């Protein structure tokens, strides 16, 4: 690696399936985005689960993980379990790239409908999901715990992939 290559770790992002070896980095990204992050063991088990699709957003020549999207499928339905980007990578539009690639892979695998839950006051996430065609279908009161505060409500959303 040349001297200049050390500074080229941020390059065009690309999406690829997560490997169990990525679980540690994935856990750190998840913990930075949620009050109750998943640990290494949980993420290793999810990534290895055949019913789970786990994709990562990577940048640079060194394959640096900067985002994760994990869903679980049953028959022709799937549920997004989490979508998280490293704090330093937010606001670049890359979550949309990760979501689009994930939805395309699910559709190719035969998924017809996808569901998710999102904190009702998470404006960036809601804007992303609406931009990609998710429609609200319900609300769950006091669903997400918050450190030292009142739990937040969750909106349930769905989208057809058919």
Per-residue confidence at 126, pLDDT binned at 50, 70, 90? very high
Per-residue confidence at 149, pLDDT binned at 50, 70, 90? confident
In percent, how much of the chain has pLDDT > 70? Answer: 93
Give the pLDDT of residue 4: 43
pLDDT higher than threshold 50 for residue 3: no
Per-residue confidence at 9, pLDDT binned at 50, 70, 90? low
Give the pLDDT of residue 7: 46
Do residues 117 and 101 touch, judged by C-beta distance below 8 A?
A: no
- Is residue 132 among the annotated active site residues? no
Selecting among 119, 120, 129, 144, the annotated active-site residue is 129
List of domains in the chain: 4-114 (3.40.630.30)
| pLDDT tens digits for range 17-59 | 999 999 999 999 999 988 788 899 999 999 999 999 999 999 9
Question: Phi/psi zone of residue 35: left (φ > 0), alpha (ψ -120 to 50 degrees), beta?
Answer: alpha
Selecting among 25, 117, 119, 120, the annotated active-site residue is 117
- Is residue 117 among the annotated active site residues? yes
Do residues 13 and 57 touch, judged by C-beta distance below 8 A?
A: yes
């Amino acid at each position: 690696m040349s001297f200049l290559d050390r500074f080229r770790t941020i390059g065009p992002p690309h999406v690829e399936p997560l490997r169990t070896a990525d679980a540690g980095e994935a856990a750190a990204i998840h913990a930075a985005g949620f009050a109750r992050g998943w640990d290494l063991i949980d993420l290793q088990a999810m990534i290895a689960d055949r019913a789970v699709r786990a994709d990562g957003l990577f940048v640079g020549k060194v394959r640096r993980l900067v985002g994760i999207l994990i869903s679980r499928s049953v028959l022709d339905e799937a549920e997004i379990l989490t979508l998280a980007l490293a704090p330093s990578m937010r606001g670049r539009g890359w979550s949309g790239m990760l979501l689009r690639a994930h939805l395309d892979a699910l559709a190719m695998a035969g998924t017809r409908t996808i569901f998710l839950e999102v904190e009702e006051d998470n404006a960036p996430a809601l804007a992303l999901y609406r931009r990609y065609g998710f429609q609200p279908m319900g609300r769950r009161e006091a669903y997400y715990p918050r450190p030292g505060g009142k739990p937040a409500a969750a909106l349930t959303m769905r989208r057809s992939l058919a």
